Amino acid sequence: MNGAVVVDKPSGPTSRDVVEEVKRALGVRKAGHTGTLDPLATGVLPVCVGEATKLVQFLALDDKEYRATLRLGIRTDTLDTEGSVLTREEPRVTREQVEAVLGGLTGRREQVPPRYSAVKVRGKALYDWARRGIDVAAPPREVEIYRIRIEEIRLPDVTFAVSCSKGTYIRSLCAEAGDALGCGGCMAALRRTRSGPFREEAAVALAGLTEAEKRERLMARLLSPAELLPDVAVIDVDPQLAERLRNGFQPDGESLIRHHIPFLVAGDVIKFTTGSKQLVAVARMLCASDELASRAGKEQAARILRVLNG
Catalytic positions: 38
- Per-residue 3-state assignment (H helix, E strand, C coil) for the chain: CCEEEEEEECCCCCHHHHHHHHHHHHCCCCEEECCCCCCCCEEEEEEEEHHHHHHHHHHCCCCEEEEEEEEECEEECCCECCCCEEEECCCCCCHHHHHHHHHCCCEEEEECCCCCCCCEECCEEHHHHHHCCCCCCCCCEEEEEEEEEEEEEECCEEEEEEEECCCCCHHHHHHHHHHHCCCCEEEEEEEEEEECCEEHHHCECCCCCCHHHHHHHHHHCCECHHHCCCCCEEEECCHHHHHHHHCCCCCEHHHHCCCCCCCCCCCCEEEEEECCCEEEEEEEECCCHHHCCCCCCCCECEEEEEECCC
